[in-house]
Structure 1
């Protein structure tokens, strides 16, 4: 698939742009404080209007309704999309702009912010993030690769960070079934619960045309460097190399897994015998009963074809 042309998306300084601003309707772990997506969204909208841009402020009661509103704004001619939130909002954003001549801006206001971290964006200062966007939006955008997921009978889904199919996806699936506790503790408890039943999973894979079977604790196929709020599963991944990085953890005991787990936050797991990272263009992946997640969002049951999609998105930031 061809990359997006850059013509007509480098407006002169001082030009007013039509910008859709999508604000997270459901922060994953609460979000009512001063740094919540709602409060940050108020600030972003006010600052962009103050800078002279035409803003469509998009707030909806749920994620699906917000996605529809974003798609409608882009179809109506929005010149840029800004998402305010975490990786789930980045996921919404890249699926709205993939292979369209509409740059994406990201104002991190979530729990993990792995996409923003990998892109080198300001993480803990939304005011600085919006000023950075304003400086970038009158220059040429960055051209980024995305990962693309195809499943039989479903529309394609793009991701910025990683597709997870293993221990981390099982943790997400379990945490999403619980209403209590709220906050990060829910995810931490889900980790402990899945550790208690840790077992190898049986995968069928076709990696760049080579078919085989694989037992593993988890497999992630990454476009970015990290998942889970800074777990550097593929520390050398790049957003513009035309490839994905496949991360595999071989079957290990709970004790050994717990020894490896802390190393992931510094990237020191790379090179260990239990861990394999390789660059790939396309992976067909299947495992009985396993639900895939991408950018922390539920995708659905395997099998799936996961492929690099070079130059699929534009970023102002």
Structure 2
């Protein structure tokens, strides 16, 4: 029977995470599984807890949203340890990409009896990050600014927070001039954002890269060019289904290594957390993480 260590960040969505873990724990323990819970003080501490549990051969459960999922999964990337997800955040985009069920009993069956499968991760390097592993996507531009606003929102939750954050960001954004290099080929770009996607979802269920797969050994690079603000709001709505990819303002490239810089300070985010500013280099790590899904 599998042994689990759940890593929970009590400062981010504590009540929701605790409720999700409590509902799941009953099903795991009924089957005789060993479950221990570790409460992290920060995402950095969550990474430490995850590595230690992984070294002991335990399945590490990331309990919460994409922030802690990215931190725990990134810490386990390349270690051979197994990750399990307990989605309990505002976005849950990586769990959505894996097709994980929301029902606690169904999720318990996946965690208890599912076969561990390898998925890709993204190695991100920048001025402030030396080889950080990311699970879902890296996004540089107006969406990173919108994500920052959403994370700071105290009144709105889930998709509403991301949508309000997007509206606020777009009203103040001016197109940036990017330099995007994919597998050595340069692609000048002026616009709203550059998204380097391992997973197709970001921003609380928005389908930014419909054809992205977490196990194909490639990154999908989504470029959204400058457009009138009214059209950009339409594009935001089309992100719900992925229909935006048919717009002439949207270009999608694919490759294994992507370098992104800009003509000014442009923020970038990863796995639901706004990290730093460009430039950055992202490289796919095929099959680097083992996940139950």
Provide the TM-score with structure 2 as the length reference: 0.91
Q: Distance in 2 between matches of 1:270 and 1:149?
A: 25
Matches within 5 A, 1:236-251: 236-251=211-226
More strand by share: 2
The residue number in structure 1 matching 2:86 is: 107
Residues 1:260 and 1:277: Cα distance change in structure 2 (over 3 Å): same
The structure 2 residue matched to 1:41, chosen from 14, 18, 21, is 21
Say if 2:40 is the partner of 1:55: no
Say if 2:147 is the partner of 1:172: yes
For the aligned residue pairs, the C-alpha RMSD in angstroms reads 2.0
Deviation at 1:17, TM superposition (A): 3.0
The residue number in structure 2 matching 1:233 is: 208
Residues 1:129 and 1:165: Cα distance change in structure 2 (over 3 Å): same
Deviation at 1:153, TM superposition (A): 5.8
Residue segments in structure 2 that go unaligned for 5+ positions in a row: none
The residue number in structure 1 matching 2:287 is: 311
Q: Distance in 1 between matches of 2:234 and 2:129?
A: 39
Aligned residues: 291
Deviation at 1:208, TM superposition (A): 0.9
Deviation at 1:190, TM superposition (A): 2.5
Tell me the alpha carbon deviations over residues 74-93 of structure 1, each in whole angstroms, 9 at most, x when there is no partner.
23x13321122221222022
The residue number in structure 2 matching 1:131 is: 109
The residue number in structure 2 matching 1:95 is: 74
Rg larger in structure: 1
Secondary structure class of the residue paired with 1:255 = helix
Deviation at 1:162, TM superposition (A): 0.8
Deviation at 1:113, TM superposition (A): 1.3
Deviation at 1:179, TM superposition (A): 5.9
Deviation at 1:282, TM superposition (A): 0.8
Contact 1:78 1:102 in 2 (8 A): yes
The residue number in structure 1 matching 2:270 is: 294
The residue number in structure 2 matching 1:181 is: 155
The structure 2 residue matched to 1:259, chosen from 217, 234, 245, is 234
The residue number in structure 1 matching 2:190 is: 215
Secondary structure class of the residue paired with 2:243 = coil
Contact 2:183 2:255 in 1 (8 A): yes
Provide the TM-score with structure 1 as the length reference: 0.85
Contact 1:20 1:80 in 2 (8 A): yes
The residue number in structure 2 matching 1:66 is: 46
Deviation at 1:212, TM superposition (A): 4.5
Residue segments in structure 1 that go unaligned for 5+ positions in a row: 1-15
Q: Distance in 1 between matches of 2:122 and 2:157?
A: 29
